[in-house]
Amino acid sequence: MSSLLNIGLSGVNAAQGQLVTTSHNITNADTSGYHRQRLIQSAQSARFSGAGFFGNGVRMVTVTRAYDQFLENQVLSAGTNKSAYSAYAAQVSQIDRLLADATAGLSPAMDAFFAGVQEVAANPTSTAARQALLSSAQALTERFHSLDTYLNEIRDGVEYDIRSTVDQINMYAKSIAELNQRIIVAQAAGATHPANDLLDQRGQLISELNDLVGVSTSVQEDGSLSVYIGSGQTLVQGNTASKLAAVQGTADPQRYSVALIAPNGTEIALPERLFTGGALSGLLEFRRESLDTTQNRLGMIAVSLAAAFNNQHKLGVDLDGALGLDFFNLSQPRVIPGDAAAVSFDFDTDAAANDIANLGELTDSDYELHYDGTNYTVVNLATRASKTLNPSGDTFEGLRFDLSTSTLAAGQTALIQPTRTAARDIAVAVADPRQVAAACPVIGDVPPGNAGNGKVSDIAMENVSGALATTPYPWNAAVTFSGGSLSLSSTPAGFTLANGDGSTPATYDPASDAAGKAFVVTGPGGFEFRFTLSGAPQNGDVFNLVPAEAGVADSRNANLLGALQTTKLLFNGGAGPTATLGMAYSQLVNKVGNKTHEVQTGEQTQTALYNQAVEARDSLSAVNLDEEAANLIRYQQVYQASGRVMSIAQRLFDEIISIAR
């Protein structure tokens, strides 16, 4: 009777265990990270008798969870990629909306500015038109400022998110290490009895950590889980958690990087590209690929606009007959540390037309300057193009370097950001509308006594230095045609006349050159201008080229200023600049828009893959309430039947006792 009673008792206990496990599943159906559990049971060892082996009931082996490491890894892989794309998309979409806005973008302000230039060209003596130009110029610089301010606000937000994410990573690492210790203690009796609920809690922490930074894991013999980030840097080992820190960059103090804190407190900087998943990776990649290049490109447009406009403006004269001044103020390249090198743009704006020939070589990249104790090497951080510099002065990609006073020690590096702050610092330098240099400094005059029909046109200033340095201007030039040659008279010493290609003597054949031939006049101090002679002059004909008078209704320089809107100034591909200011901005808008679409598509794709992975995992691990409800009835019946066995055993025992009486 005792064996029958024990069999029933084992059945009751097993059914009770199944009911407890099923109830536990039901109550945790909505618990994040929970895996469905089930009780593993097996038959007790049979008892041998002369009639064979008789069973001894059931025994409970252990409680396991429905878990598949392969499916879990798929969820982690898709989840960390989804988080990276999501973080990137949330940031880059802000820039996309800003740049493409029909009213808040740069294009409307730039168009309005050049419209103001055209209005001055149409009414060069109108003070109202000149004032309107200054107002539109002020609006343009303020648009640069507002765009840069918004980008800096995004940058501040990204830097804050990086620091916050690092703090969360440390919190999760600490919690995982603590759970490792609890699991080690709980499973001390043997790995055959897993601490399922603790394992689920740890798995959920791993999943949430994986959303912040891509991780890999390995299970140790004691049941603890080692967690790695990057290229294998240990974040959690047993019950010990390493610590990350968001530290200010040595090259750029305004930029935070991620460092691993060694046990001795040493900060080990981790390269950004080591992080390949999670929100932290998305933030770092966005800052590196989109935010930096957008702010640099915007600054490059500001530099190009200001340099080209200043240069042409200083080739003209204002309403008072004075030479044009800088129309815009512009900052020089940013160097960190500031005494590492003297870096400037490799184009001057000292009123010489060829001074901005290198403008198209300027890029929107950042640079590093390395010093090994002997050589200085500059490296483009985007293309990795480099050059070993001459310390006394050298140029590279639109930049000029003077290292004669550099304070870099051997092994040190400096960061160069040529255009990062240009949009922030651009400003209008001209305050008086009369100072708008709309006129050309030289006027051509054909005396009425000339016998031929030759005429002078297309006077274009190349350099106003030297001869135009003082007023009244101490020069005038009379070009005389005689016997197929041109000569200068009535000019101070040092003036020369040459053909447009620079060759001498200056010749003109009315038969073949009547459509127009270019000539160049040079003077002391670099003074130079070009003009075109056309028609059929007669011997002795004179063409006067004299300084412009104050207040003259001349818009030739204003026309050249307006032409800068459609002049290709940027992106020298080897055969000259390939993009106008408007095209450069459009390319920036398209680049950001394409990147936004790319990461949004990537986010959608990874979200779909993540959902599929979760569905596959949940088909195995999730709690099915219908199934659990059926199990409750099933195990209840087992419990009742096992209890019935015990009841029968008790009755039989009582019958035997009563017979014995």
| 3-state DSSP assignment of residue 528 | strand
Residues 456, 388 share a domain = no
Q: β-strands 542-547, 334-336: how paired? A: unpaired
Q: How far apart (Å, rounded) are the C-alpha atoms in residues 10 and 546?
A: 119
Specify the DSSP class assigned to residue 498.
Answer: E
**The pLDDT value given to residue 614:** 94
- Nearest C-alpha neighbor of 210 from the set 163, 124, 275: 275
Residues 456, 542 share a domain = yes
Structural domain contains residue 529 = yes
**The pLDDT value given to residue 348:** 65
The contacts of residue 400 (CB under 8 Å, 6+ apart) are 343, 344, 345, 346, 393, 394
The contacts of residue 636 (CB under 8 Å, 6+ apart) are 15, 19
Structural domain contains residue 59 = yes
Structural domain contains residue 204 = no
Q: What is the CA radius of gyration of the chain?
A: 41
CB 176 within 8 A of CB 207: no
**The pLDDT value given to residue 472:** 58
**The pLDDT value given to residue 414:** 92
Helix (H) / strand (E) element for 38: namely strand 37-43
Residues 455, 388 share a domain = no
Structural domain contains residue 100 = no
**The pLDDT value given to residue 470:** 60
| Strand partners of residue 577 | 572
Q: How far apart (Å, rounded) are the C-alpha atoms in residues 300 and 584?
A: 9
Domain of 510 in residue numbering reads as: 442-547
Residues 522, 481 share a domain = yes
**The pLDDT value given to residue 355:** 65
Tally DSSP H helices, then E strands, for the chain.
Answer: 11, 31
Q: Which amino acid is at 317?
A: V
Q: How far apart (Å, rounded) are the C-alpha atoms in residues 508 and 502?
A: 14
**The pLDDT value given to residue 91:** 96
Sign of the alpha-carbon dihedral angle for 530, 531, 532, 538: negative
**The pLDDT value given to residue 644:** 84
Q: How far apart (Å, rounded) are the C-alpha atoms in residues 117 and 566?
A: 13
- Nearest C-alpha neighbor of 437 from the set 556, 549, 317: 317
| 3-state DSSP assignment of residue 85 | helix
| Strand partners of residue 416 | 335, 367
Residues 446, 416 share a domain = no
Residues 507, 455 share a domain = yes
**The pLDDT value given to residue 471:** 58
Structural domain contains residue 203 = no
Structural domain contains residue 327 = no
The CA distances from residue 169 to 131, 175, 206, 255, 305, in Å, are 57, 10, 10, 19, 45
Structural domain contains residue 598 = no
Q: Tokens for 74, please give them.
A: 């798929």
Q: How far apart (Å, rounded) are the C-alpha atoms in residues 462 and 483?
A: 29
The distance of Cα 629 from the centroid of its chain, to the nearest Å, equals 53
Residues 540, 449 share a domain = yes
Residue 547, preceding peptide bond in cis (omega within 30° of 0): no
CB 211 within 8 A of CB 79: yes
Q: How far apart (Å, rounded) are the C-alpha atoms in residues 157 and 287?
A: 11
Q: How many CA atoms lie within 13 A of 182 on its CB side?
A: 14
- Nearest C-alpha neighbor of 258 from the set 368, 413, 83, 267: 267
CB 533 within 8 A of CB 512: no
DSSP 299-350: HHHHHHHHHHHHHHHTTSB-TTSPBP--SEE-PPPEEESTTS-EEEES---S
CB 97 within 8 A of CB 569: no
- Nearest C-alpha neighbor of 435 from the set 603, 313, 569, 549: 313
> Could you report the per-residue pLDDT of 43-57, keeping only the tens digit for each?
887 777 777 777 788
**The pLDDT value given to residue 515:** 93
CB 120 within 8 A of CB 126: yes
Q: How far apart (Å, rounded) are the C-alpha atoms in residues 57 and 74?
A: 41
Domain boundary among 526, 547, 568: 547
CA distance from start to end of the chain:
18
* Residue 270 phi, psi dihedral angles, 5° rounding: -105, 125
Q: Which residue numbers in the chain have pLDDT < 70?
A: 1-2, 190-191, 348-355, 467-474, 660-661
Domain boundary among 513, 547, 581: 547
Residues 535, 451 share a domain = yes
Structural domain contains residue 343 = yes
Specify the DSSP class assigned to residue 408.
Answer: P
Residues 478, 405 share a domain = no
| 3-state DSSP assignment of residue 93 | helix
Domain boundary among 420, 451, 477: 420
Q: Tokens for 69, please give them.
A: 């490491």
**The pLDDT value given to residue 473:** 62
Quote the pTM value: 0.88
Helix (H) / strand (E) element for 395: namely strand 394-396
Question: What is the number of domains present in the chain?
Answer: 3
What value, to the nearest 5°, has the Cα angle with vertex 499 and ends 497 and 503? Answer: 95
